[in-house]
Structure 1
């Protein structure tokens, strides 16, 4: 059942259709999604790939050490984000990883080998740039196109940072973005650029928010 109360709340499995629809639209012009899948607004195959991938990310969050949060108002779900929490239970992560294999099969049948290789390489490269200490990882954050520019993204980021500040197991938040214009936006929230790199001709900006730090410049690469 859809959450109708205003504000930010954790999504349940029943919210999957809302999440998939919102994120698919929010990321339709995202450089990484265009690079991996093609134009989902014009190509039905690209649209099917995006839907399958976003569905996989949602399912994965309930099997691994991740959470999905959404911003609701009277119009419904306006924004959502997925965050990976610091790992404290390796056994739970291993069990989740085994269960996740079943969720991967639809991707193998739907996506090309090239796309799957690119996805795997992207995850490996970006995760190699995060700090070694325990931290949260912002997997994705998106806002419904009609609600963009109305403070939804800001509210969700502040919610995430407040969660991190209250978590004794976390020393910050890592993320990556392919939108150069997002870099300055994240800097305003206290993130620093930790690494800039090229991934198959696509610029990737890895950023980190260090809890308790007021320094908003560059931080050493870890």
Structure 2
């Protein structure tokens, strides 16, 4: 995004920075992702929003996914405005295919905190999304979010462009995969060049799986 476009969004360009995240940023990242995901159709279905304890199940899942991500030494980046973290992206490396069903310690912690039913639904969702994506090596975005107060200001586009810049540096990747159950985000991803490669039906939610070839990024 150009400086002019940033200014049109009401955010001076010199206040926006792309930063690498490490484990020290876990608390801030968890807060942003919780705010970004708690009202999403996908999470409402997976973690049964109608039953008591929904917020706790969402928080627990985000925490465990972040901890697993950093334990595998994978990349994570964020967008800051005046030094405050407002958006994050966790980037799955092409050489690490995250088969959650095989992560025993993660599964146990999930069952103890998010519950058995939610853990099973999440594992099934993750497996079906993975099956829609190319079998070759590629990056994936398991966690991606902009704090609601900073949405619709161009931050998402800046974040996604930063992700693509990082991924394009890896000669082994064939592209980037992600998914969404929100039609608003689906339109945004399509505008950024992501193509639909599959759909996953979950109750009354349709999760759309998208992929952007590295040839469209470089």
Corresponding residue to 2:20 among 10, 34, 37: 10
> Secondary structure of 2:89's match?
strand
* Native 8 Å contact 1:65 1:84 kept in 2: no
Distance 2:66 2:136 in 1: 25
Question: Residue 68 of structure 1: CA displacement?
Answer: 1.7
Corresponding residue to 1:199 among 192, 199, 202: 202
Report the counterpart of residue 89 of structure 2 in structure 1. Answer: 81
Decide whether aligned partners of structure 1 residues 45 and 56 sit closer, same or farther in structure 2, where only a CA change above 3 A counts.
Answer: same
Report the counterpart of residue 139 of structure 1 in structure 2. Answer: 142
Q: How does 1:117-136 map to 2 (within 5 A)?
A: 117-136=120-139
Report the counterpart of residue 67 of structure 2 in structure 1. Answer: 59
- TM superposition score normalised by structure 1: 0.82
- Which piece of structure 1 moves more, 103-112 or 57-66? 103-112
Question: Residue 56 of structure 1: CA displacement?
Answer: 0.6
Question: Residue 102 of structure 1: CA displacement?
Answer: 3.5
Corresponding residue to 1:71 among 74, 79, 103: 79
Distance 1:197 1:20 in 2: 26
Report the counterpart of residue 6 of structure 2 in structure 1. Answer: none
Question: Residue 187 of structure 1: CA displacement?
Answer: 1.3
Q: Deviations over 1:155-195 (max 9, x none)?
A: 11001111222221111101111112222211111111111
> Secondary structure of 2:215's match?
coil
Report the counterpart of residue 116 of structure 2 in structure 1. Answer: 113
> Secondary structure of 1:62's match?
helix
Q: Deviations over 1:103-148 (max 9, x none)?
A: 4433222333221111111011110111012110111210111111
- Structure 1 unmatched ranges of 5 or more: 215-222
Distance 2:51 2:203 in 1: 22
Structure 1 runs of 4+ off > 4 angstroms?
none
1:181 partnered with 2:184: yes
* Native 8 Å contact 2:79 2:88 kept in 1: yes
Distance 1:15 1:166 in 2: 24
Q: Number of aligned pairs?
A: 203
RMSD: 2.6
